[in-house]
Amino acid sequence: MSGIWSLAPGFLNLALFVGIVAYFAKGAIRGFFQQRADGVAASIKEATRAYEEARSSLELWEKKQAMLEAEVRTIFEHAEKRARSAGEEFVRQAEAYSRRMLEETRLKMETNERDALEARRRTFLKQLTGELKGMLRDRLSEDERYALVRSAIERLASLQQERGKG
């Protein structure tokens, strides 16, 4: 046990030294810890303020995002309506154009038919004129001339009927 008692004066000196330092440095130590506690409290307060700011900013950005999403939806809906309307207008114009083209084609066909009938009539009249000249030259009998003229009139009447149908 003598080993422990030999250490006792060193422990006693250490305790005495720590007590004196604590007595004289008590204000400085207390100030240090108080300053440290104030710094930690300020850091906590600053972190809380930064957290609240960040949270407020997040809420603001979430509102802005929701507004932008709504605006994007509105823009897409508007664009879709405009595209649909433009497509419908294009179809209407195409239908009107095709109706005009059909009418023009029908009119051209009627004109072509009339022109063809007119050409046939002219050809017939030329042939008739040639036949009449030949008849006069050959001096046909009265009955023959009458039959020839009668045949020509019937052919002319049938051409007129065809022309009236067209």
pLDDT in tens, 35-88: 899 999 999 999 999 999 999 999 999 999 999 999 999 999 999 999 999 989
d(CA 117, CA 163) in angstroms, rounded, equals 6
9 in a structural domain: no
123 in a structural domain: yes
d(CA 161, CA 158) in angstroms, rounded, equals 5
Which structure tokens are listed for 86?
């433009």
Percent of the chain with pLDDT over 90: 39
How many folded domains does the chain comprise? 1
55 CB-near residues (< 8 Å, 6+ apart) = none
* Amino acid (one-letter) located at 59: E
pTM equals 0.40
Q: For residue 83, what are the domain limits?
A: 25-165
Residue 2: what pLDDT? 64
2 in a structural domain: no
Which structure tokens are listed for 41?
């409290």
Contact 107, 166 (CB under 8 A): no
43 in a structural domain: yes
Residue 102: what pLDDT? 92
Which structure tokens are listed for 128?
């008739």
7 in a structural domain: no
12 in a structural domain: no
99 in a structural domain: yes
14 in a structural domain: no
